[in-house]
Amino acid sequence: MSGIITSKNIDPSLINLQKNNTKSYWQIVWGRLMKNKGAMAGSFILIFFIGAALLAPVLAPFPIDEMKMENRFLPPSLDHLLGTDEFGRDILSRMMHGGRISLMMGLVAVSIAGITGVVLGVISGYYRRIDIYIMQMMDILLAFPSLLLAIAIIAVLGVGLTNAMIAVAISVIPSYVRVVRGAVLSIREKEYIEAVQALGVSDFKIIVKHIFPNVLSPVIVLSTLQFGTSILAAAALSFLGLGAQPPTPEWGAMAYVGKSFLLQAWWMSLFPGLAIMLVVLGFNLLGDGLRDALDPRLK
């Protein structure tokens, strides 16, 4: 009877391993992410701000351009939860609408940088003859601090919201190129890539079917981290007067205007600055959690 195998004398780790083998890769990643407290905290922060931005036309208590000079510089109260500005406009309403602009700037910048950087990174890593030219161009861009590079680009393109998004995107592209290139260099040396090449499969099909899916994980993690960085850079440009211009209710522009009244109305700069800090923190926490969940060493 001692040789009979029952559920009591089976190693629990073997049972968990069998259960894990029945799950897909993305189910395992999702399970790891749900167990990461930092990633969940970042997700809740982002859900709060994204939800407030999307529902701003419904939830905002006042019109963003409604001026009441008799309400100038009112401190936070029950009537105006975050106070009013120099024109008597409700700061909470302007911040909710401004979140749509700030988040859109980050989304557009990351989308442009991600698409361009992935394409250049794949080409650089797969076609070695072109690699040196692409990487020399990236090295030139990396020689400048990202914010300084964005300021230089705006100096050429001109001041404005659209140009600020383009400038931030260009300053982020080298990060994508380097990450994707490194992943492609590792993948293209695998035996299965050499096998499909020997079968005469075209380079386009190899890249689309065999290489791109394997570089998707680091790109997702990098995009999450760069989203917060892009929002911060765009807000910094607006704070310097190079991005969104008043009266556009963008967080960086609101903080820029508020600094002139810092002693008189500290809330004008404090609350937009806190919003920027919390959103960037949320993306960084989520990015760290995704990096841990997608780490192949943890499979």
| Total length of the chain | 299
- At residue 5, the pLDDT reads 44
- At residue 31, the pLDDT reads 81
- At residue 176, the pLDDT reads 93
Answer for the pair 225, 284: CB distance below 8 angstroms, yes or no. yes
- At residue 52, the pLDDT reads 93
CA dist 3 and 246 (Å) reads 80
Taking CA 157 as the corner, what is the angle to CA 155 and CA 158, rounded to the nearest 5 degrees? 65
Pure H helices in 25-71: 25-35, 37-54, 56-59
Q: What is the mean pLDDT of the chain?
A: 85
| Cα-Cα-Cα-Cα dihedral sign, residues 97, 98, 104, 106 | negative
- At residue 17, the pLDDT reads 46
CA dist 235 and 255 (Å) reads 9
CA dist 19 and 23 (Å) reads 7
* Environment class of 50 (CB within 10 Å of its CB; exposed 0-12, middle 13-18, buried 19+): middle
HEC sequence for 19-31: HHHCCCHHHHHHH
Encoded tokens for 288: 């760290």
CA dist 275 and 296 (Å) reads 34
- At residue 1, the pLDDT reads 44
Task: Enumerate domains of the chain plus CATH numbers.
Answer: 23-298 (1.10.3720.10)
- At residue 7, the pLDDT reads 45
SS3 121: helix
DSSP state of 62: S
Place of tokens 């890249």: 207
Residue numbers in the chain where pLDDT is lower than 50: 1-11, 13-15, 17-18, 298-299
Answer for the pair 118, 180: CB distance below 8 angstroms, yes or no. yes
DSSP state of 88: S
User: Which has the closest alpha carbon to 261: 273, 270, 249, 274?
Assistant: 270
- At residue 191, the pLDDT reads 86
What does R_g of the chain's alpha carbons equal in angstroms?
24
| Cα-Cα-Cα-Cα dihedral sign, residues 89, 93, 95, 101 | negative
CA dist 239 and 233 (Å) reads 10
